Structure 1
């Protein structure tokens, strides 16, 4: 899909990525750090991560089409190069979200806080740290891609001083 209602689909799809990646990253970190949240979210966590994963190549494909239909520009090329790097982060979010969900559903909720250290604590800490790293990486990457896309789209398209229209 490259056009939506006559407009480049990338311009629409990018909004899904900008919302879903940080939302998925936040849900993943909260679920990895707080197992009760993972149990409460249930299947929503991996489904959200899967939808996020699917939107990334859709948006990239639409962006590649758009790149071929605009003038060649170093800012556009930089944006496209950065955009190519988001898929591994989205895949990492999906794999970790699935692992956190699977672990949470297979681990019974603790009956009290007086239980001693559990063997699963090391796994939970590792999952939390890995989730935090991937979540931060994905969100930073989305920011960098979006910033470069905004610069590519707007670099000579407006005046820093008011033009007097609409006064």
Structure 2
């Protein structure tokens, strides 16, 4: 489905940085586009394109992570927790993409946007943005703990 190694390194450790950066950027662009007409006019078609790139990156990263976990013989409870949290990212990425397309399309193709529709999309955009950023934070934090727990001695200074 996607790369598992890049120059001998597990692809997951490289791809995960794209997800960690792109999901919050997409969320920010979505909220700006949904609530601020001047920003919406400047962002335009970039919003759904960035959301699509974010969406595509999630299953690629997940696939590479599953491959890496297989190489680690399961990886233990911290890796299992990371996998559990990371699996929640795809629905949020889909939500970001769908709401991004809706915000862009409604303001592009509906001649006079109704206030109720604009407010509804703005509320939905904020919910999806907050949920996706929170989920990527939780998954990333658990992944960092799985990777670094016991590796670095933080007690001695």
TM-score norm. by structure 2 comes to 0.93
- Which residue of structure 2 aligns with residue 120 of structure 1? 114
Hey, which of these two has a bigger chunk of helix by percent?
2
Residues 22-37 of structure 1: matches in 2 within 5 Å?
22-37=24-39
- Candidates 100, 104, 113, aligned match of 2:103: 100
Structure 1 segments, 4+ long, off by >2 Å, are: none
Larger mean CA deviation between 118-127 and 20-29 belongs to: 118-127
- Cα deviation for residue 107 of structure 1 reads 4.6
1:117-143 Cα shifts (integer Å, max 9, x gaps) = x86111111000010000000000000
1:150 to 127, 140, 144: 144
What is the RMSD of the two structures over their aligned residues, measured on CA atoms? 1.3
Matched-pair contact (CA < 8 Å) for 1:39–1:105: no
Is 1:55 matched with 2:25? no
CA distance in 1, matches of 2:114, 2:41: 15
Q: Deviations over 1:85-128 (max 9, x none)?
A: 100000000001001111121256xxxxxxxxx86111111000
CA 1:83/1:24 → structure 2, altered by over 3 Å: closer, same or farther?
same
Which secondary structure does the structure 2 equivalent of 1:159 belong to?
coil
- For structure 1, the 5+ residue unaligned runs are 109-117, 163-167
Gap runs ≥5 in structure 2: none
Q: Which residue of 2 aligns with 1:130?
A: 124
Structure with bigger gyration radius: 1
Q: CA distance change for structure 1 residues 159 and 21 in 2, over 3 Å: closer, same or farther?
A: same
The count of corresponding residues between Structure 1 and Structure 2 is 153
CA distance in structure 1 between the aligned counterparts of 2:42 and 2:26, rounded to whole angstroms: 15
